[in-house]
Amino acid sequence: MLSPDHSLGVRDCQHARYSFLGFLALFLVRCLMPRASVFAVAMLLLLAACAGRIPMGARNGSVGKTNDGCLIGGARLESNDDLLVLNADNCWGTPELVELLQAAAHEMRAAYPEAPPLVVGDLSREGGGRLSPHESHQSGRDADVALYATDNKTHKRFLDMTRGALDVPKTWSLIQTLLEKGHVQYILMDWEVQKLIYDEISLFVPEQELSRIFQYPRPRGARAGVIRHAAGHRDHMHIRIRCPAGDVYCTD
């Protein structure tokens, strides 16, 4: 939930927007008053910076926390042959997240030409901020992605996954593809769905690798593995990337 007292992330977004407006105002002043000395303009800039605590590095990128933040200058994820975006309003993310999803979808298409496109649900709104019904998805670092179904059809919604309905080879391939890129911080997935994948791939994936990637078979609350249990994630997985390098006001 967005805290009522406007915590750090949201304030930083506001400052970043104010700083942009400040620079714009100063630019106009400079145009309208060409004789104003460089020193005077510099002083005005300094005053504006002090007054607004301009976070220079925050003018683009993920700002604040995923559950209390925003997104400045985000990139838009669009549908193509490899990828289907379910909601064209909520498809904004950091360039790193958008490129990760595009690359993963492209690689899945190459590996499984007959597979349906990667179905992607919400990322963030343009500009980020609160996006109901999610608690996170505020700062361009979260994406909901469908799990592959054994019927190999394109479903324009997320399907509840049970044994037999989940295409484990494709879903495991997608997870590996995402993790290889190096940006993923967590994948949220119901513990029971983790079990479905784990049971099948444990026949050929080394235990050390499984332990690094999956929380299962540890308890649901265990702080271990990249893939963690979260309620409401039986029909999709939630991908969160780390704060992109250079997004100095992003909070992991």
Q: Which residues bind Zn ion (CB under 5 A)?
A: 144, 238
| DSSP characters over 87-124 | -TTS-EE-HHHHHHHHHHHHHHHHH-TTSPPEEE---B
95: closest CA among 119, 66, 124, 67? 124
For 175-200, letters b (16+ CB in 10 Å) and e give: bebbbeeebbebbbbbbebbebbbeb
Cβ proximity to Zn ion: between 107 and 144 the closer is: 144
Residue nearest to Zn ion (CB): 238
Cβ proximity to Zn ion: between 1 and 38 the closer is: 1
Residue 171 CA: distances (Å) to CA of 120, 160, 174: 14, 14, 5
Query: How many other CB atoms sit within 10 Å of the CB of residue 153?
Result: 8
Least distance to Zn ion, CB of residue 180, Å: 21
Least distance to Zn ion, CB of residue 146, Å: 12
Least distance to Zn ion, CB of residue 144, Å: 4
Cβ proximity to Zn ion: between 229 and 238 the closer is: 238
Find where tokens 């104010």 sit.
Answer: 18
Q: How far, in Å, CA of 34 to CA of 53, rounded?
A: 27
Cβ proximity to Zn ion: between 58 and 184 the closer is: 184
Least distance to Zn ion, CB of residue 175, Å: 16
Least distance to Zn ion, CB of residue 114, Å: 28
Cβ proximity to Zn ion: between 188 and 243 the closer is: 188
Cβ proximity to Zn ion: between 30 and 220 the closer is: 220
Least distance to Zn ion, CB of residue 151, Å: 24
Residue 183 CB partners (closer than 8 Å, separation 6+): 96, 97, 100, 241, 242, 244
